[in-house]
A and B are shown apart, each in its own frame.
Chain A
Amino acid sequence: MDTLKRRHPGMPDYQGSLEPEYSDDKLYKPTRQQSGNKWLGLPKEYRDEALAILKEYHDDIIPIALTLISFWTRFYLISYANFVVWDEAHFGKFGSYYIKREFYFDVHPPLGKMLVGLAGILAGYDGRFSFNSGEAYPDSVNYGFMRLFCASFGAWMVPLTYYTAKELAFSMQATVLVTLMVLLDTAYLCISRFILLDSMLLFFTLTSVFCLTKFHNQRNESFSLDWWLWLTLTGISIGCVSSVKWVGLLVTALVGLYTIEDLWDKFGDFHMPKPVYLKHWIARIVCLIVLPVAVYMLCFVIHFAILNHSGPGDAQMSSLFQAGLEGNDFHSNPLEVAYGSKVTIKNMGYGGGLLHSHVQTYPQGIGSSQQQVTCYHHKDSNNEWLVKKPRESPMSESEIEVDFVNNGDAIRLLHGPTGANLHSHPIKAPVTKSQWEVSCYGNDTVGDHHDYWIVEIVDDLNEKHVERIRSLTTRFRLRHKVLGCYLRAANTVLPQWGFKQIEVTCDKRNNIEDPHTHWNIERHWNDKLPAAPAANYRSKFLYDFWHLNVAMYTSNNALIPDRDKEDILASTPDQWPLLTVGLRMCGWADDAIKFYLLGNPIVWWSGTASLALYAVMLLFYMANGITFFMLAR
C-alpha cells in the first residue's frame, strides 16, 4: 500500500498528469504512414478519422475491445462437451436442489450455488437431472446456457482488471499488459467455462480489489458521496466473495490489513480532529464489518427461504428445523417418551448429529474392542434406540398400561439393529483421552450396571417444567449411573476406522451449560401412544444459521485426504507458483473431449518472478536504508 501512495503523493486527480503520455501522436502512428496514400486499403481520410476517433475514445475503446474478446474466448464452443465435467457433478446438483426447493447440505456458503440455481431457472431447467459425473446431458437440460451464465462472471474479470490497473495509475502499456495477461491466462479461461463456483469467486475477488482501489483514490475527499459509494461497494463485495466460498476470507483479510494501516496512519495525523477520526472508525465498522456480515447472513436467509422442503441434508440440522420443513414425517411422533419406545436421539450442540452405533468395533490398542458409538449425520436404522428399564426393575406386564420415562429415571438404551446396550466404562476415549469411552455392549439380557443412564431434563421449549421427555422440544442430559459422567459429542472427528464420524464420549465435567451434552428426541415410535397434536414448530434463524456454519466447518475439517491414496487431482501450495502441476478435469478415454486445467506458463511464471524480485528489492533497500541512515547521522 505504501507504493500506491508514493505514486501520486497528494494528487487526487492523477489522471491529468498521465494525459501527455497517450496524447502523444507517435504512439498510434503506423510506420508505413509516410510510404503511401492508402492505409489498410482504405482512403487516407478514413484513416485519419479512425485515428481521431481512437485518439479521442481510446479510454473506452480498448477496454470494450478487450472485454468483447474476453466474452468471445469464454463463450467459444461452450456447449461442445455435452457431458458433466468435473465438479459440475456437485454444483449442478446443488443448483437443482434450489429448483426443487429441497434442503441439502454442503461445505460451501450458498451464494454461488444459488446463482447456479438461478441460471438453471433462466435456462428452463426443472431440477430433475442427477448430474452424475461424466454423464451426458439430456435434451431437457440447457447446460450451455448454465455454463454461459457462469462464464460471464469469468469474462467480467477482464474489464475489472483493466480498470483496477488504471485506478492504480499504471501506464497505458502496463494496464493493457496486465489485462491481456488475465485475458490470455488459460487457467482462468478453463475454470470459467463450466458450472462451477470458481468464476464467481474470482469475479467477486476482483470486484473487492477494484472497489478497494477506487476507495483508496477517494481518500482525500473523505465522506464525499463517491467515498461512501466505494466503501459500501467494497463491503458488499467482500460479503459476496465470502458467501461464495470461505476462501473469500483471504481477500477480506487484505481489505482488513489495508484498513488497519489506513486507520493507524490517520491516528498519526495531528491535523485530524478527534470526532472526524471517530467518524472514520464508525464508517469502516459499518461498511466493512456490519455490511459484509449482513450480506453473508442475507444469503442464508434466502437459502433457508428457498429450501423449505425436506431433503437429503435434513440430518445436519437441528430436529426443530427439520420439523419446520415441508414433507418431514415428524407429525407421527407420539408426544412423551415411554418405556418400550423406539427413538432417535439428536445432539443439540451446534453441528450435532444423531446418536449412532454400528457393528464395527473400536480397534484394539485404541479402545475396548467393543462396538463403536458415534454421532452421525445420516438417517438410517443404526440411529434407532429402544428405551428400556434397568434389568433389576420389575417389567410392567400390562399390554395397555404405558409407563412413561420420568426425570431422574435410570434407563437402558438398546441399539435397534444390533440389540447392544449403550455402555460406558473407565477406558479412555479414542481421541479425547481425558474422557471415558462410550461403546455398545452385550444385549437385552447380558450386561451390567454400566449400561444404565440417568435422564436429567434440562428444560422444554414450550413449557418451563416438564417431568417427562417430550419429543423434539425437551432438552435432556444422560448421566452414567456408575461413573457420573455425561454423554457428550463435540464435533471431534474419528479417524478412518470410525468412518470420520463424530466421537461420542462420557464427560466427567458436570457443566449444565454445555450444549454438547444436551440431547433431544428426534423421531419417536410407540404403537401404544397416539401421535402428538399438530404444532407449528419454528426454529430461530440465528440458531439455524450458526448451526449450519458449525456443521460446514466440521465437515470441512473431516475432509482430510488419505495420504496412501494417489490423488491425481490434488496439488499442494508449493506447486502452484511454478505451475508444476495441472488438473485433469474429466475422463481420459481416447475418443473423449478432454479438459486439462493448466495456467499460461508465461503469465504464472512472470507473476511469481515479480513477487521474488520485489522481495529481493525490499531487502536491498532495507540494507541500504540503514547505511544511509547512519551516514546521515
Chain B
Amino acid sequence: MMLYQSKQEYYESPIHIDQISTSSIPTYTRVRSRRPVIFDGHYSDMRGHSRTIFGLRMRDLQLMTGLLLLAVFIRLYRIYQPSSVVFDEVHFGGFASKYMKGRFFMDVHPPLAKLLITFAGLMGGFDGNFDFKEIGKDYIEPRVPYVPMRLMPATLGVLVIPMAYLTLRQSHISTTASVLVSILLILENGLITQSRLILLDSPLVACTALTVLAWSCFQSEQRRPFGFWWWFWMSMTGLALGLTVSCKWVGLFTIALVGVSTIRGLWDMLGDLRITPEIFTKHFLARVLCLIVIPISVYMFFFAIHFAILTNSGDGDGFMSAEFQQSLKGHQMHDVPIDIAYGSHITIRHVNTQGGYLHSHNHVYPSGSRQQQVTLYPHKDENNVWKIMNRTNIPYDGPPVMVKNGDVVRLEHVATSKKLHSHDIRPPLTELDYHNEVSAYGFAGFEGDDNDLWRVEITEHSSSDPKSKDYLRTLHSKFRLVHLMTGCHLFSHKLKLPKWGFEQQEVTCIKGGTYPKTVWTVESNKNDQLPEDAEKVNYKKLGFLGKFLELNQVMWQTNAGLTDSHPYDSRPFDWIVLKRGISFWGKHHRHIYLLGNPIVWWGGSASVAIYLIFKTLLYVRAKRGYKDQLSESEQFYESLAGFFLVGWFLHWAPFFLMSRQLFLHHYFPALYFSVLLFGVLFDIITKFFKSRHRVLVALCIILVTYLAFRTFAPLAYGDPWTKSDCKKAKWLSSWDFDCNQFYDNYDEFNTEPTESPDTKVDHVSSNVPHGKENVATTMGEVAHKADAKNVVKEKATNNNVTEMDTEKKEFDIGDEDDADDEQFNPPAKHDEG
C-alpha cells in the first residue's frame, strides 16, 4: 500500500485500474472517489458516471434542467419585442416568403437554417405575403406570425446550453466549471440578441455545439473501437458536421477542426505498432464514411429539398446560367431551329454575365455619338431580335445559306431597322481608350457603312454536334463578334447604365479583351425559309448534380464578391476585444445593438491568451533544458484545452484570409470555443482549491457576468433605457450605439404611445445591407416619381432619411418599348447577415 504525504497528494494520484483486480469493478459501477482513474492507460475521471452522456448522474440531470429553464427564460423573454423587422430579418424573413411561393432566389448561405425558419413560419400560419422589405417594417398590421419564426432560432439557442454542459461534463470537467460555463453562455448578450431574431447564427452555433458534443463523446469511446457507441458517435459527428455546413459555410471551419483532430488520431495510430495495417485501414475507411460521406450527403440532401421547393422563376434567376433557368417555371423555351441562315431573326445572349440579350431601343446615347443605344437586357422582348445579313445588299431568293465560322455579317435591329455599329468613340461609362462605343445606326433603306461589319468567330461548340464548329448553330456554337474595321470584340460587363439607359447593362467593343466577357451565343432563331420539320434544339436539361454544383459555384463567387464596406463591419482583430457591435434596429426611442457581454467575451479571449502564454513558457523552458513533467491529469487537461484552442483558432484565423465584409456575429462559433476553454482553465487553476472556495469563485464570476448582462440587456431586448444609463454603459468609446435615441427618463416610455407614427425611423435604416437597396422597384412605383433632382435635394436637407433608399426608386419613364416588360430587378447582391 502506498503512503501519501498529504491529503492533497492522495487526491492527485490516479487510481490505476490494473493495480486493482479489474474484474472487481463492473464497468458501469460508479467509483465513489474524487481521485481520477487511469484505465488501460487512458485517463478517465470516473467521478460517478461511467462513459458518455447516457451514464449521467441524477445531479447532472437536475442541474441541466435548472440551466435549461434559466436559458428558456433569458432567451425567450419578450420575444415578441420588437414587433417590426430587425436587421437581417430583411433577408431571412424574405427568403421564407420566397420559399412559401416557390420563387427561386440566390443567397450566399446553404439552405438548412432558412428551411427551418420557413418551416416555423408554416407552422405559425405564415402565407408568404409579406416582403420583409426594410428594417422597421411593422409585423402586427399585416399579421405576420413572426413569433413562431423567431422561436426557431431561439429554441436552438436554448439547446446550446445543455449541449455545452454535457460536452464539458463528459469530458471530465468538474460540475462547478460546467455550470459556470453554461451560465456564462446563457448570459452572453450577443448570443441572446442573435438567437431572438430570425437570423442564421443561432442555428449555426447550435450545430457547432452538437458537433463538439458528438466528437468529444466519440473520443471517450476510443477505447472500444468499432463498438455500437463508437459508430453511433462518429456518425453523429458526421451528421452534425453536415448540419453545420448546411447552415452556413462557416461550418467548413468546424469540419477543419474535426479533420485536424482525425488526422492527428490517425497519425498517432500509425505510430502505434500494436495496430495492424488491416485495422488501420478499417479505421481509416470508417472515418471516410462517417466524416466525409455522411456530411456531404446531408449537405446535398438539403439542396435537394431546396430545389424541390423553389420551382418557379424569381429574383435569383439573374445569377444563374441559361441552362439553370430552363429548369424554373416561367423560363421554359420552345424548341428552336438549329440552323442559322442569312435572313434569320435571332436573339443573341451574353454567355458570361447572365445579363441577357443584345438589345437596342429607340433612345439615343446622351453623350458620345448620340446614336441609338445598344444594351444588354435580361428579359425576352422584341427589341432583342436581330436579323443576320451578309455584307452585300443584293437581294437573294435562292435556298437558305447557312452562316459559317469566319463569315462577315451585319446585324439589323428588326424593330428600328438600324444596324449594329461601332466606331472610335468612347463608350458612355467605360471611358477607357481600349473601349469603343457600340450603337445602332442607319435607317430603313440605308445601305450602311463598313463600321456595320462584324466577323463571326466560333470559339466553342457542342461536342455532340461537330457541325457547330464550322457553322453558326443555335445554342451549340459560342462565338465572338469581331468588328471588322477596328478589330475589337463585342463585349459587355456588369456595369449598369444610368437612368437614361434604363439601368440596362453597358455594351462596348473592347480591343484586346480577355475571352470570357466577349462570348455570345444565339438563343432563339426564326426563319420562314426553313421547313417546318427542320432540326430543332433546346437547352439540355440540368440534373440535380449540375444544378447543385452551379449554385454552389455562384454562391462562392457572390460571397467572395461582397467586398464593399458596410457602416458596421469589423475585422477579426476587433472581435477578440469586442471593439464594436452592429446596430440592428431603432424605433420608438428603443434600440437593438448586437454587443456581447464584455465579461464573457474578454474572459474567453483572456483564456486563450493565458493558455498560449502557458504553452510558450513550457516551450521556452524546454529549450533551456528544464524537464517539466506534467502529471497525467495535467496532460489530460492540457490536451482538452488544446482541442478547444485549436477549435477557437480555426473558427477565427481563417477570417483574416477573407477580403469580404465581416461582422461581429462571425465570431460566435469561435466565442463558444473560447468560453469552453475558459471552463477548462477554471478547473486547472482551481484544482487545488477547497470545493467550497471553488464554488465561491464561480459565484463571483457569475455575479459580475450577471451585472454586465443587466447593464446591456436593454440593447439586446429592445427595452426602455435612458440617455444617462446608456452613456454610462459606453465602456469603450468605440461602441457606437446611439444614446441620443433614448428618452431622458423611463417615465416617458409610459406616456408616449409607442405606436405613434411620427417617431422617426432614423439611422438604422441605413443599416440595410447595401445589396437590399437594389431590390424590387416595380414600374408602378416608378410612374409616380417626380423629377429626380427635386427629390434628391429635398431629401438631402433632411438628414434623418438616407438618400440612398429614396434615390433607388427614381427612374425616368418613357421607354415605350420596354414599358410592357417588368422593369428588371437587379438581383440583390446579397449581404451576409
Contacts and interface: CB of A to CB of B under 8 A. Distances in A.
Contacts of A450: 796-797
A199 interface: no
B512 A566 contact: yes
A630 interface: yes
Contacts of B799: 425-426, 482-483
B270 A565 contact: no
Q: Which of the four size classes fits the interface of chain B? A: 35 or more
A630 B270 CA distance: 9
A563 B792 CA distance: 34
Contacts of B49: none
A433 B624 contact: no
Contact of A364 (B498, B512, B801): B498
Given A563-B514, A564-B510, 12 more contacts: A267-B623, A364-B499, A364-B503, A368-B807, A433-B565, A433-B567, A434-B565, A450-B797, A483-B799, A496-B432, A566-B513, A626-B267
Given A564-B491, A566-B514, A631 B273 contact: yes
Contacts of A426: 766, 796, 799, 801-803
Contacts of B503: 364-365
A565 B803 contact: no
Contacts of B569: 433-434
B430 A368 contact: no
A368 B804 CA distance: 8
Contact of B797 (A433, A448, A623): A448
Interface of B: 267, 270-273, 429-430, 432, 434, 491, 493, 496, 498-499, 503, 510, 512-515, 517, 564-569, 620, 623-625, 766, 770, 774, 792-793, 796-797, 799, 801-804, 807-808, 826
Contacts of B273: 627, 630-631
Contact of B496 (A364, A629, A631): A364
Contacts of A41: none
Given A365-B496, A434-B567, A565-B512, A630 B272 contact: yes
Interface in A519-545: none
A80 interface: no
B803 A368 contact: yes
A620 interface: no
Contacts of A431: 564-565
Interface residues of A, number: 36
Q: Which of A264, A426, A496, A568 has the most CB of B within 10 A?
A: A426
A483 B267 CA distance: 62
B376 to A, nearest CB: 14
A428 B766 contact: yes
Nearest to B272: A630
Contacts of B493: 564
Given A450-B796, A483-B799, A564-B510, A363 B270 contact: no
28 contacts: A267-B620, A267-B623, A270-B624, A363-B498, A364-B498, A364-B807, A365-B496, A369-B498, A426-B799, A426-B802, A426-B803, A427-B802, A427-B803, A427-B804, A428-B804, A433-B565, A434-B566, A449-B797, A497-B429, A562-B432, A563-B514, A564-B491, A564-B513, A564-B517, A565-B514, A566-B512, A627-B270, A627-B273
Given A365-B496, A433-B770, A630-B272, A564 B803 contact: no
B565 A432 contact: yes
A268 interface: yes
A425 B791 CA distance: 14
Given A563-B514, A566-B514, A629 B271 contact: yes
A363 B429 contact: yes
Contacts, number: 100
Per CB-CB distance, the 10 closest pairs between chain A and chain B, nearest first, are A434-B567, A630-B271, A268-B623, A425-B796, A433-B565, A566-B512, A427-B803, A626-B271, A426-B799, A364-B498
Q: Which of B267, B792, B796 has the most CB of A within 10 A?
A: B796
B271 A368 contact: no
A497 B515 CA distance: 22
A268 B271 contact: no
Nearest to A367: B804
B625 A270 contact: yes
Given A368-B792, A433-B566, A564-B514, A496 B430 contact: yes
A450 B770 CA distance: 24
Nearest to A442: B793
Contacts of B515: 566
Nearest to B566: A433
Interface in A363-382: 363-365, 368-369
Nearest to B563: A431
Contact of A565 (B513, B566, B770): B513
Interface of A: 264, 267-268, 270, 363-365, 368-369, 425-428, 431-434, 448-450, 482-483, 496-497, 562-566, 568, 623, 626-627, 629-631
A264 B625 CA distance: 13
A364 B514 CA distance: 26
Contacts of B496: 364-365
Nearest to B564: A433
A268 B510 contact: no
A315 to B, nearest CB: 22
A483 B432 CA distance: 36
B417 to A, nearest CB: 31
A563 B510 CA distance: 12
A431 B563 CA distance: 10
B801 to A, nearest CB: 8
A562 B510 CA distance: 12
B509 to A, nearest CB: 12
Given A482-B799, A630-B273, A448 B498 contact: no
A385 B625 CA distance: 70
A264 B503 CA distance: 62
Contacts of A566: 512-515
A450 B796 CA distance: 8
A449 B566 CA distance: 27
Q: Which of A270, A364, A483, A563 has the most CB of B within 10 A?
A: A364
Nearest to A428: B804
Contacts of B514: 563-566
Nearest to B794: A448
Contacts of A363: 429, 498
Contacts of B267: 626
B95 to A, nearest CB: 23
Contacts of A425: 796, 799, 803
Contacts of B808: 365
Contacts of B826: 365
Contacts of B510: 564-565
Contacts of B770: 428, 433
A268 B565 contact: no
A434 B663 CA distance: 13
A453 to B, nearest CB: 16
Contacts of A432: 565
Contacts of A630: 271-273
A267 B622 CA distance: 11
A352 B596 CA distance: 37
A433 B801 CA distance: 16
Nearest to A264: B623
A26 B499 CA distance: 86
Nearest to A429: B565
A412 B515 CA distance: 49
Given A364-B498, A433-B565, A448-B796, A565 B434 contact: yes
Contacts of B272: 630
Nearest to A631: B273
A102 B793 CA distance: 47
A432 B565 CA distance: 6
B624 A268 contact: yes
Contacts of A629: 271
A427 B795 CA distance: 10
A483 B797 CA distance: 10
A614 B553 CA distance: 35
Contacts of A368: 792, 803, 807
